[in-house]
Structure 1
Amino acid sequence: MKKHFTSGLALCLLATLWFAHCAPRPTQTASTQANAVAKTTGEPAPADPARFEGEVAAYEAIDQQTDATGGIMLVGSSSIRKWETMEQDLAPLPVIPRGFGGSTFYDLLHFYDRLVVPRRPDILVVYEGDNDIARGESPAYVLENARKFTALTKEKLPDAEIYFLAIKPSVARWQQWPQMEEANRLIETFTKSDPALHYIAVDEVMMQPSGKKVRDDIFIEDNLHMNPTGYVLWTDKIKPVLEKAYRDVAH
């Protein structure tokens, strides 16, 4: 009896090992892959995009209530999300606000299919890079992710025009401004390589007349996010560009 029990136990163990060996290996998650890339590039590992799941799901619920496509989608971090008067400021342009605060280019790439593709915008206005630099990413890495965003758009929405907004200066992140300026320079140069890519230098209107310091009257108490005065500056800079752009794509 003991011999039969031992043999049966051995067979069970062998079967378990065989199934474990033959079972499909779990694929790497996006975060795992990004962490691996971060180790080889020296860039900081990205935060888990799952922290935005609630915001993205809310946008999905809105999109499920309409079949409308086209228009101008403004997507990116909190400078987009906190632009509460965007639709009024940019009227009558058909704008689609899709900001999710605290995001980086990596997060935008992660949620691209859910956040951007369903509405198939004619024009994409992108604000990322601010949090990327603040968390220690290099200007070159920000450019790399802007390139990835462009490639993804070319694949998924080949007719869309892309407008990259310059990373804004702020009092709170003034120490990182040299890196942000370099990222802006790299992205602006990149946009000159393709007629479907554009760059809007919103940073220029946020500086003091000397051009050497950011205005301190255009932010809320945290000295990072803009107050209504700051958004007036953005509106005056962005709206004429988008009006012309939308006329061009509408004809």
Structure 2
Amino acid sequence: MKKMLLFSIVINIICLPLASIYIIRKIQFYSDNNTDSKSTYSFNIFQKIKNSEYKLLTTDTSSVVFLGDSYTQNFDVAEFFNSANIKNRGIIGDGIAQLRNRIDYILAGRPKKIFIMIGINDLLNGVPAQVVANGVDSLTMTIKKSSPTTKIYIQSVIPTNWKTYTTNELVLPKINALNQLLNENSKRSGITYIDLYRLFLGKKGIKPEYDSGDSLHLNGNGYLVWHDALKPYLN
């Protein structure tokens, strides 16, 4: 009897941790495969966190502000350019609508320069290039009206071989269309347009040497290229 009891205890000690690991792995599996709800939750919570954080961080007339989505958020601009005056205000998942919604508190300090890269999330979600370009145009008009001395720089969207979430079409032609519109609108409005697209374009999307591993985001070498391209505008 004692042997049976001892045997039962040993089996429980061995099996319970294994069962726990199995259950955790199953939960992780279903969470990882439920990409829509996971992505939506992640974007929403990170947008709220970063937005509330940025509202507390002021800018002034010596500030150079980088606005955008995850491309910008992942760019450690202050360290790359070795300047405390350079402020990162990128938020993962942002599109042009989100950028326009949070521009007021950024303009409160009348920053010296604003660098904008936005549009990839809009295009991936099926927003037409013309709509995104019109939104960027409206954003720049708001900046000019609220902070006339702020110099604006529009940066092209970076290439990727990803497909749209809605129609499963390659997004690259839409990026090309958007960049062309951004370039044309910038020329018409007297705004500096910076073509980063050509620096990162490979055979099928982003060049492998600059790919973080997901065919969308940049690695460190990619950010170094971006940094070098912007140096003439930050001297």
Provide TM-score, normalisation by structure 2: 0.73
**Structure 2 Cα separation of the partners of residues 235 and 93 of structure 1:** 16
Which of 57, 62, 68 is matched with 2:57 structurally?
62
Provide TM-score, normalisation by structure 1: 0.69
Quick one: structure 1 residues 213 and 132, their matched pair in 2 at CA, closer, same or farther if it must change by over 3 Å? closer
Aligned positions of 1:97-116 closer than 5 A: 97-114=88-105, 116=106
| Secondary structure, counterpart of 1:193 in structure 2 | helix
Q: Contact 1:74/1:126 (CA < 8 Å) preserved in 2?
A: yes
Q: Name the residue aligned to 2:11.
A: none
Which of 190, 197, 200 is matched with 1:203 structurally?
197
Letter of the 2:231 partner, please give it.
K
Give ranges in structure 2 of 5+ residues lacking alignment. 1-39, 164-168
1:53: how far off? Answer: 2.5
Aligned positions of 1:65-144 closer than 5 A: 68-84=60-76, 86-92=77-83, 94-114=85-105, 116-144=106-134
1:77: how far off? Answer: 0.3
1:231: how far off? Answer: 0.4
| Secondary structure, counterpart of 1:184 in structure 2 | helix
Of all paired residues, the percent bearing the same amino acid is 21
1:155: how far off? Answer: 1.7
**Structure 1 Cα separation of the partners of residues 204 and 84 of structure 2:** 34
Letter of the 2:174 partner, please give it.
Q
Give ranges in structure 1 of 5+ residues lacking alignment. 1-46, 244-251
1:50: how far off? Answer: 6.5
Letter of the 1:91 partner, please give it.
N
**Structure 2 Cα separation of the partners of residues 53 and 79 of structure 1:** 18
| Secondary structure, counterpart of 2:159 in structure 1 | coil
Q: Name the residue aligned to 1:183.
A: 178
**Structure 2 Cα separation of the partners of residues 240 and 90 of structure 1:** 12
**Structure 2 Cα separation of the partners of residues 78 and 199 of structure 1:** 20
| Secondary structure, counterpart of 2:87 in structure 1 | strand
| Secondary structure, counterpart of 1:75 in structure 2 | strand
Which of 189, 194, 212 is matched with 1:220 structurally?
212
Q: Contact 1:171/1:214 (CA < 8 Å) preserved in 2?
A: yes
